[in-house]
Amino acid sequence: CYSSLLSIVCYSSLLSIYVSGPVEEENPEFWRAQGCDLFLCAIPPKVWALPPSQHARILKGQMHNQSGEETVMTMDTFPHAGLLKTYSVDFQIPDSSSTATAYLCGVKTNLNTVGVNAAARNGICKTQKGNEVTSILKWAKDAGKSVGIVTTTRASRKWYSDADMPASAKKEGCTDISQNPSVDPIRVIVIHELCFSMTQRDGRHLISDWQKMKVGKVARYVWNRTDFDAVDPDTTDYLMALFEPGDLRFDVERDPTMDPSIAETTEKAIHQCLWVTSSVSFPVCVSGGRIDQGHHASRASMALHETVAFDNAVAKGLELTNEEETLTLVTADHSHAFTFNGYPFRGQSILGKSPLYGKDMLPYTTLMYGNGPGYKVVDNKRPDIRNVDTQSKDYVQLSAVPLDTETHGGEDVAVLARGPMAHLFHGVQEQSYLAHAMAYAGCVGRDLRHCESRPQHTNTQRILVTTTDDDRNSAPSQVSSISLVTALLAAVLH
């Protein structure tokens, strides 16, 4: 979520051949017009249940000594659901930067680029100028609302500081990604990476810069559990919490005396925004990014336990907010090459082996990957895993194609919604539709006609929108917050 706030291009290695999409898709207005046209015509659908993650659902139940299949996750209780098409402008299967730009900025873009439209080119910094786009978090800030960000991962995988940047990128005007929290007035930042505080080659210390910019405000920076728990939202204007040298540890390996859980950081972020804004609406973005990293490593146990922890964060968010005033969304930005197969018995461990053997008379796990580091064929023979503990947190699932890291998948991902205007999230839509629907529901961004036509209470700053009841002419409902809960890079919702 955090990366989508930035108006920079985040690069990985350059592609040897550039593949371009249709020219009209390089114009951000193409996606904006499409999104607005769709949600203005939205009709409240009947309740449609879409399973967010049958694998994690079974694991969650089995963690409580149940069979697992019948378990109801918090995400399962969301009454409205839709599907989002995740392709980028130039590739069928996207990366996380292009999808974040789509669902937070409302504009689809090219692979390996973030915060810019598709006219910008991966690896060519000078093409970002004039092609920057902004996110719904920026729109919310412009409307005077607080913004909170929580993630279990580092803020970026490239260009932590100017020391990581090639000379050509600096010459063309690009900046490192870590500078942005020091210039963006984000109310709560929980990024879980101490690397962010490093001193840059230009002599800047970004944590110090962030604190100096909050003159006249109480801005707290914490790096450990004790100081984090001691933060009083009632006396704190801004909070930045960075716990680990890189990503937060996987939840099953986390030391609870040192690092809080994603549910606990979500609670702190919501309390912080509620206390400092009173009745003003706010978006809080919560990212379970370690789900993605578990999948990339083909460690299904880690990925699914992270998903369960994320579902607990969703539950905490619902507990702390009023559903009549809060729109809560759960989504993923893409899927993974992850499969559930083999006719396992009811109640069998989701991390176990299929009761059926292959034609080579060897067992296989019910969870596997299409590609990744789990390829273990030697001399045309699969490994014999009869005596292998596949339920271990460190077990690497088998995969069909050898790769150092498993790739994303190209399936549509689900968006689950509850609260005011949840009916907008329905059917099969472009992923860029999501930002426009959120903006419409929260009365931020470009189209405020439906908000301006309704009077506000004289003693609050809550924004009025129409109710989600089937009767679209019923009385308006107050929305005091938008809680965007998103499992970034997760394969849990495809």
pLDDT given at position 225: 93
The pair phi, psi for residue 273, each rounded to 5°, is -65, -40
Sorted by sequence, the CB contacts under 8 Å of residue 384 that are 6+ apart come out as 362, 363
Q: What is the mean pLDDT of residues 77-92?
A: 96
Q: Is residue 259 marked as binding?
A: no
CA 260 to chain CA centroid, Å, is 19
Q: Is residue 76 marked as binding?
A: no
CA 450 to chain CA centroid, Å, is 28
Show which residues are catalytic: 96
Q: Is residue 296 marked as binding?
A: yes
Winning range, highest mean pLDDT, from 11-20, 164-173, 301-310, 443-452: 301-310
Distance CA 185, CA 394 (A): 39
Q: What is the mean pLDDT of residues 441-454?
A: 78
- Confidence at 212, pLDDT banded by 50, 70, 90: confident
Provide the CATH topology of domain 2-14+23-337+408-487. Alkaline Phosphatase, subunit A (3.40.720)
pLDDT given at position 379: 92
Give the H/E segment covering residue 339: strand 338-340
Q: Is residue 192 marked as binding?
A: no
Give the residues across from 483 on adjacent strands: 284, 328
Q: Is residue 292 marked as binding?
A: yes
Q: Write out the residue limits of the CATH 3.40.720.10 domain(s) in the chain.
A: 2-14+23-337+408-487
The answer to whether residues 96 and 489 touch, using CB atoms and an 8 Å cutoff, is yes
- Residue 171, both tokens: 């010459």
The answer to whether residues 468 and 44 touch, using CB atoms and an 8 Å cutoff, is yes
**pTM of this prediction?**
0.82
The answer to whether residues 148 and 165 touch, using CB atoms and an 8 Å cutoff, is no
- Tell me: pLDDT of 51 over 60: no
Give the residue, 29 or 415, on which the prediction is more confident.
415
Instruction: Find, among 127, 137, 129, the residue nearest to 1 by Cα.
Output: 137
- Tell me: pLDDT of 199 over 80: no
- Residue 72, both tokens: 């109801």
The pair phi, psi for residue 213, each rounded to 5°, is -75, -10
Sorted by sequence, the CB contacts under 8 Å of residue 387 that are 6+ apart come out as none
Tell me the average pLDDT of the chain. 79
Q: Write 167-170 long-range contacts (CB < 8 A, 24+).
A: 168/125, 169/11, 169/125
Cβ burial 136-159 (10 Å sphere, 16+ → b, else e): bbbbbbebebbbbbbbbbbbbbeb
